[in-house]
Structure 1
């Protein structure tokens, strides 16, 4: 099981709730699709029992310190795009500011799953046989709903949950 989140926007309460539920579900990896925002949130993410992979979002500020503080506890920074293989599935991880890029990646045939954020709205769709997952916003700042997603890699089944 893979945990997915995005747009945590410095909300320590939301990050703590997400980390708790990911640990309870015993996920093997967590993918963060950008907009962590400030490095000080690293301490909350350190409590994850799973490997954390993350990309930068359009609101991430001090990228050098984000990189340093997160990599200090073993998180893996993918830059602006992650080309990952986890539990046997090919995953593209990005924030998703450019919709044309998200769609192009999805229809390329190079990935089983595209994980994106940015819109703050949870969505699961299929494009040319590729599963496109937006877990919504962990922070709840725009929609009033704090959500994360779980991906069953074996079944390519996704569920979005409120945290």
Structure 2
């Protein structure tokens, strides 16, 4: 299975839509969003997602009731951490970077996705593949990136949208 990984979209509707188009074109079977969508209308831009979306709230996601309702047709959003199983792999999703080290240290996951920093980061902590896809919004770095990971090879590929 291919997993589409994104974070920090910060209401950038054209880039959110471009990510959904890329994920559909590449045959993604699950989308993970590591938070900071910001407004419910940004989540509605993901309603064309080709598959289920699992997400966590970020520090800029203030309208949680509206965001939760916007997620209902496409998947689910969690307050702090989400854990899903995809093709036999256990994958965690958080927003804040300070959660990465303690969670990864437990070696209970195959992959841990995070956001918040807006910086692309792909590395191993022990047995855990750690992925920050950078930012879809592009507001801080000027680069709008997502990652697609194939669960068979556990090889992540970075895409600009």
Normalised by the length of structure 1, the TM-score is: 0.95
Q: 2:141 aligns with which of 119, 130, 143?
A: 143
| 1:59-86, Cα deviation, whole Å (9 max, x unpaired) | 0020011001211x13211221001111
1:94 alignment counterpart: 94
| 1:117-163, Cα deviation, whole Å (9 max, x unpaired) | 01001110000111000000001000000000011111111011111
2:124 alignment counterpart: 126
Equivalent runs, 1:24-35 vs 2, <5 Å: 24-35=25-36
Question: How many residues of Structure 1 are paired with residues of Structure 2 in the alignment?
Answer: 160
Q: 1:157 aligns with which of 145, 155, 161?
A: 155
2:81 alignment counterpart: 81
Structure 2 residues without counterparts, runs of 5 or longer: none
Mapped partners of 1:95, 1:52: distance in 2: 15
| Contact 2:51–2:74 (CA under 8 A) maintained in structure 1 | no
Aligned-pair Cα RMSD in Å: 0.9
How far off is 1:44 after superposition?
1.3
2:4 alignment counterpart: 3
Please say if 1:51 is aligned against 2:52: yes
Mapped partners of 2:74, 2:137: distance in 1: 23
Corresponding residue SS for 2:45: helix
1:23 alignment counterpart: 24
Structure 1 residues without counterparts, runs of 5 or longer: none
| Contact 2:37–2:43 (CA under 8 A) maintained in structure 1 | no
The 4+ residue runs of structure 1 with deviation greater than 6 A are none
1:40 alignment counterpart: 41
